[in-house]
Structure 1
Amino acid sequence: MSTALPTDAELTPATLAPYIQHTLIDVGITRDRIVAHAEETIRYGFDAAMVPGSWVAEVAEVLRGTDIGVASALDFPTVGVTTSAGKAAEAESLVRAGATQIDIGVQLGWLKSGRYDAFRDDIAGVVKASGVPIKVMLELPLLTEAEREAAVELSIEAGAAYLKNASSGAVEVANPASVAYLVARAPEGVKVKASGSIKSFDQAVSLLRAGAVLLGTSAGVAIVSDNTDENTTSY
C-alpha cells in the first residue's frame, strides 16, 4: 500500500491486508514453508512477502503474475556488519532474483562516530545498485535525538524511499510516537514503514492512523483474521 490511511476510513481486520508486508525471517526455513508463506500472501491480499534473500527467487516464482511485492532484507538481523560494497552487490543480486523492494540495516557505528558521509553513501550505494525502493531500518531507540535527526536527514539525502522505526521488536515495539516522528520529517515522496512486534488489530490501526503506509509483521494472518496471539513473533 503506497498511500496513507484516510483519516475517516472505517477499518475491519480484513481491510488491513494491503498495508501488511507478510514477514517470514527465521532460521532453517524449508521450501514447503516458504511456498506456503508466499501462497498466504496471495490468499490474504498482503502488500508483499518479506523473506530471506536465499528464498527470493522461489517466492518470486510463486508470486509471478500477481501485483504482490517480493521484499527482502540485508545487513539483518545483525545490523551494520556488511561492507558497503558487499551490501550494494547483494542488493543487486536480490533484484536479479526477483526482489522488488529491500529493507536495509544502516551503519549506526559510523553515524555515532560522526562519519556522516560514509553513513549516507552506504545507503546511496544500495539505492543506486538496486534500482528498487529501499527502506532504511533506523533503530530509533538506539540513537540520541541529534543522531535521530541526522539519520533521517542523511537517509533522505541518500535516496531512501521509506523510513522505518526499527528492524524488529528486539529493538522497539512499533508505536505511534515513533511513526509520527518519522512522518513529520519525511518529505513528499518518502514514506514510513512500521516494524517491531506488531501483533494486534488495534496496534496496527494506531500505526496507520499515525501515518505509516506499511506494516512489517509475521502476525499478519492473525491480525487480518482477528485471531491475534501475544506470543506470536513479529518483526
Structure 2
Amino acid sequence: MDIQEILTHVDHTLLAQTATWEEIRQICDDAVRYQTASVCIPPSYVRQASEYVQGKVAVCTVIGFPNGYMTTKAKEYETEDAIGNGASEIDMVINIGWLKDRRYDQIEEEIRTLKNVCGDKILKVIIETCFLTEEEKIKMCEIVTRAEADYIKTSTGFGGAGATFADVELFARHVGPAVKIKAAGGIASLEDAEKFLELGADRLGTSRIIKLIRQER
C-alpha cells in the first residue's frame, strides 16, 4: 500500500486542550496538501476552519468529548451546532457508564438521535475500548449496527490507551456490513497504519502520519 493510499484514510487530528488557531490552521493546510480524508478538530474551531478550507477537505469534530457522560440533549445540541458551523463528520463518545449498567436501549437511542441530526453527514461512534471488556466491545458492535451509525471508532486518545490490532479485528468480525471502522489513538508508524487498514479499518485518527511522511521526504 503506497503512502498516498494511506493518507486517503487519515483523519488528520488535533484535539489537544491547548490547541491554538495557528496550530489548527497548520493541520488544515497539511490536510489539504496531503489530501487526507478529513481534518478532525475541536468544535470551537469548526466554523473558522470550514471557512478557511473552503470545501477542500472535510471538517470533522468531536461530540461529548472525551468522557461521553453528557446528557443526550447536550450532545444533540452540540451536533446541531457543529453541523451548522460547517462540520461534515461527527465523532461522538458513548456514555460508558450506561454500557457498564447495561442500558443498551438508551445508548442505541442516543446514537439514533445524533444520526438523525447528522442526516447524510457521517457519524462515528467512539466506544473507548481501553475501558471495555470483550463482551462490551461486541455488544457495542451490535448496538452501533442497529442504530445505523456510519462508523465504530476505537478511542478518543485521551483514555489511557488507543487502538489495537486485536480490537480492529474484533470489530471486523462483529459489525454489520454497512458499518465501517475507525482506529484512533497511538498510531505512530506507517507500518501500523497499513496493518490497521489491512485488518479492516477504513479510517485512521492520527496526528503523526503526516509528520512521519515529512521526515521521510
TM range (shorter): over 0.9
Which residue of structure 2 lines up, in the alignment, with residue 203 of structure 1? 192
Conserved in 2, the CA contact under 8 Å of 1:198 and 1:217? yes
Q: Secondary structure at the match of 1:136?
A: strand
Partner of 1:130: 118
Q: Which residue of 2 is the match for residue 56 of structure 1?
A: 46
The counterpart of 1:24, out of the listed 4, 14, 24, is: 14
Q: TM-score, normalised by structure 1?
A: 0.86
Counterpart Cα distance in 2 of 1:197 and 1:20: 13
TM-score (norm 2): 0.93
Count, aligned residues? 216
Q: Which has the higher contact order (CA 8 A, sep 6+)?
A: 1
Give the partner amino acid of 1:117. D
Q: Distance in 1 between matches of 2:185 and 2:18?
A: 21
Q: Pick closer, same or farther for the CA change 1:65–1:80 going to 2, 3 Å.
A: closer
Structure 1 residue 103 corresponds to structure 2 residue 91: yes
Which of 149, 154, 163 is 2:143 aligned to?
154
Contact (CA 8 Å) 2:130, 2:159: kept in 1 or not? no
Matched residue type, 1:27: Q
Using the TM superposition, give the Cα deviation of residue 169 of structure 1 relative to its aligned residue in structure 2, in angstroms. Answer: 6.2
Query: What is the root-mean-square deviation in Å for CA atoms of aligned residues?
Result: 1.8
Question: Structure 1: which 5+ residue stretches go unaligned?
Answer: 1-10, 228-235
Residue 139 of structure 2 is aligned to residue 113 of structure 1: no
Tell me the CA shift for residue 224 of structure 1.
Answer: 3.0
1:34 maps to 24
Name the amino acid aligned to 1:224: I
Structure 2: gaps (5+ residues): none
CA distance in 1, matches of 2:162, 2:54: 33
AA aligned to 2:61 is: S
Percent identity between matched residues is 29
Per-residue CA deviations over 1:37-64 (Å, capped at 9, x if unaligned) read 2111101111100000000011111221
Paired position in structure 2 for 1:73? 62
Contact 2:156 2:162 in 1 (8 A): no
2:125 is paired with a residue whose SS is strand
Q: What stretches of structure 1 move > 6 A for 4+ residues in a row?
A: none
In structure 2, the partner of 1:175 is: 164
Which structure carries more helix by proportion? 2
Contact kept, 8 Å, 1:169 with 1:197, in 2: the verdict is: no
Change (3 A) 1:126 1:27: same
1:139 and 1:109 map into 2 onto residues whose CA distance is: 12
Give the drift of 1:111: 1.3
Contact kept in structure 2, 1:48 and 1:69, CA below 8 Å: yes
